[in-house]
Amino acid sequence: MYRPQNLRIPGPTFVPQAVLAASARPLINHRGPEFAALLAALTRALQDFLRTEHDVLLLSASGSGGLEAAVANTLSSGDKALVFSCGAFGERFAAICKAYGVDARRVDVPYGRAVEPDLVRDELAKEKGKDAAKAVLITHNETSTGVLNPMKDIAAVVRDSGKLFLVDSVSGAGCTELEIDEWGIDVCVTASQKAWGAPPGVAMVTMSPRAWKAYEKSNLPKAYFDLATYKASLEKAQTPATPAVTVFIALQESLRLMAEEGLEAIIRRHRDLARATRRGLQAVSLQIFADERYASPAVTAFRPPARVDARNLIRLLRDDHDTIVAGGQGKMEGQLVRVAHLGFVTLQDIVAFFSALELTLRDLNQPVEPGVAMTAALRAYAESQQQTSRPAARSSSTARSANDAVATRR
């Protein structure tokens, strides 16, 4: 049943052997000193990665639970919220608002495009007076379309408006630039199975002092996701209910591996592998779905060749090559293929993906010369390395590329 697979979906991502081994350790008492030390260390490490001095709360839930907590803890029934959406996860954020009785005004941009700061500025200009939106909600990395919204510039616009700022960075945090405190993000959500390379089961939610002020006024129902109970428990180095202990242990190990590589190198690796992926796809005339300027470092969505059903391509990759990619979501179902380069991914994984893709395209009677996509990806990667590597580092016998460091963890 379980075979080694080239798991190229945007979460759960590949979990390194050391992380799997950590998750196989005997369970510990979640009210005991070992768990207290684990939670304290995890919280500190996540504050470093997320660039915040404020609270990082760990919920035993998937990312959607974290999004629900973000809304339920900061808004009140009838509050207006401005939700910028460029795909299925923006729509989900708005749907959560609606489920809680928040009046979400959704501003949609076409799938494949990014939310531009000017659009945010124009829409915020309409939100003045007594009935104005109290909060701005947005997805950082839109996993359904492979678009990375320009968050730094958007955040500057939102900050000027003084509105509460809630960000879904479920698939962005840990693989791209994100400065939670400096950019003024009040609540940010991510999840263990994305860039963090741990199994699913833990959502991380950051809360700024402004978010806590909003909490005081919020009247939405909350029980399991009441973040004040997480904060109070954290002061005793505990969680309010039984946590997903195994995932917490795994996450500590994956954060250790990530700290070894360093956030800057991780961000660069994602950027370079994403670019190599796009160049490989383009070399076999496949159309990238996202606007190149805002292409995601986590996942690349592309259209299948004309007259090829994306579902068929995905099935052949799986059945013939153990290569697992994702399809389109929501209204893009059947129209897109999404290949992820998120988490502990190496150039070798991308090359393996292209070898499977090239053979599959040939099986689908597409005129593809073997090696063309692979070569283009390798070339693009080598170019990026040349641009970033310094001669001193290259001549050092101890210096290894980030890619090599990740590859040896297999």
> How near is the Cβ of 368 to ligand PLP at its closest, in Å?
30
Q: Judge whether 257 and 269 are in contact, CB under 8 Å.
A: no
Query: Count of CB atoms within 10 A of residue 404's CB?
Result: 12
Query: Which of these ranges, 44-52, 69-77, 164-172, 367-375, lies near ligand PLP under the rule CB under 6 A?
Result: 164-172
- Could you say whether residue 62 binds ligand PLP (CB under 6 A)? yes
Assess 348 for contact with ligand PLP (CB under 6 A): no
d(CA 42, CA 56): 9
Among the listed ranges 42-50, 58-66, 247-255, 262-270, the one in contact with ligand PLP (CB under 6 A) is 58-66
DSSP state of 305: P
Give residues 18-37 in contact with ligand PLP (rule: CB under 6 A): none
- By beta-carbon proximity to ligand PLP, the closer residue of 62 and 238 is 62
Site size for ligand PLP (CB under 6 A): 12
Task: State the minimum distance, in angstroms, from the CB of residue 203 to ligand PLP.
Answer: 7
Pick the piece of the chain touching ligand PLP (CB under 6 A) from 12-20, 138-146, 204-212, 261-269.
Answer: 138-146
Shortest approach of ligand PLP to residue 137 CB, angstroms?
Answer: 11
Q: How far apart are CA 381 and CA 387, in angstroms?
A: 10
Residue closest to 273 by CA, chosen among 15, 8, 4? 8
Two tokens, residue 81: 């919220």
Binder of ligand PLP out of 60, 145, 171, 384 (CB under 6 A): 171
CA distance 303 to 227: 41
Least distance in angstroms from the C-beta of 307 to ligand PLP: 29
Q: Does 174 bind ligand PLP (CB under 6 A)?
A: no
Torsion on CA atoms 18, 406, 198, 5, rounded to nearest 10: -90
The CB density around residue 122, as the number of other CB atoms within 10 Å, is: 12
- CA-nearest of 149, 13, 20 to 409 is 20
Instruction: Point out which residues bind ligand PLP (CB under 6 A).
Output: 11, 62-64, 89, 139, 141, 143, 168, 170-171, 191
